[in-house]
Amino acid sequence: MFTGIVSGLGTLVARKGGSFTIQTPYKRKSLDLGASIAFDGCCLTLTRIEKGKSGGAAVTVDVSNETMSHTTMGTWEPGRMINLERALALGEELGGHIVTGHVDGVAKVVSRFPDGDSMRILLEVPGEFAKFVASKGSIALNGVSLTVNEVEGARFDVNIIPFTLKHTSWGDRQPGDLVNLEVDLLARYVARLAQAEGLQS
């Protein structure tokens, strides 16, 4: 379980098939084999932990074809910056919203432009996910918990503050880029309940 609050930036240093090695800022001794970390919102299991650069650990994860088909990971190349979040520990602060790390699909960045000190980013989601996106609701994009501003059909926008732009990979995201999308878990259950009630009526 995660909260969508990025705790570090990683760099993809090697990829061989479905095996990815990412340089992280985390101390090697603080990580355990089999532990989960969200990589751009994808919950993955650490299968190898090695000494990396600048005191951080280099970790390896194995990615299934199923995960690659529903996320942006199939397009990742060495040098890519990746948002990292370690799994939430019992008793820790829930700073964003409940995020499972199970990516639903991908959204497309349509445009970005300054809005005061923040950056307003317009995105488009596949039609089947539009019903889960609500104004002032929560959404996870590349593992970052964000609040939805306005919604029109399959498009919606979010505001990203300077701190988030600096400390996540969102500073590099440009129109045309695809990002990992996880809809709000509560919105999914509400939609399912509404569907069930409709079938019973």
Total domains in the chain come to 2
143, 80: one domain:
no
50, 113: one domain:
no
The residue that leads in pLDDT, 120 or 200, is 120
pLDDT given for residue 119 in this prediction: 97
- 181, 190, 191: which is closest to 106 by C-alpha? 181
For residue 111, being part of any structural domain is answered with yes
* Separation of alpha carbons 96 and 2, rounded Å: 9
> For the domain that residue 121 is a member of, what is the CATH number?
2.40.30.20
For residue 2, being part of any structural domain is answered with no
The residue that leads in pLDDT, 2 or 188, is 2
For residue 3, being part of any structural domain is answered with no
116, 158: one domain:
yes
117, 146: one domain:
yes
132, 180: one domain:
yes
For residue 45, being part of any structural domain is answered with yes
Question: Using an 8 Å Cβ cutoff, are 67 and 75 in contact?
Answer: no
112, 193: one domain:
yes
Q: Which domain holds residue 12?
A: 8-86
132, 74: one domain:
no
What's the mean pLDDT when you consider all of the chain? 92
For residue 181, being part of any structural domain is answered with yes
Query: Residue 23: pLDDT above 80?
Result: yes
Three-state SS string across the chain, please? Answer: CECCCCCEEEEEEEEECCEEEEECCCCHHHCCCCCEEEECCEEEEEEEEEECCCCCEEEEEECCHHHHHHCCHHHCCCCCEEEEEECCCCCCCCCCCCECCCCCEEEEEEEEEEECCEEEEEEECCHHHHHHCCCCCEEEECCEEEEEEEEECCEEEEEECHHHHHHCHHHHCCCCCEEEEEECHHHHHHHHHHHHHHHHC
65, 115: one domain:
no
pLDDT classification of 130: cutoffs 50, 70, 90: very high
181, 150: one domain:
yes
Specify the pTM: 0.91
Lowest mean pLDDT among 67-71, 92-96, 98-102, 181-185: 92-96
What percent of the chain lies above the pLDDT cut of 90? 82
Lowest mean pLDDT among 43-57, 78-92, 161-175: 78-92
pLDDT classification of 54: cutoffs 50, 70, 90: confident
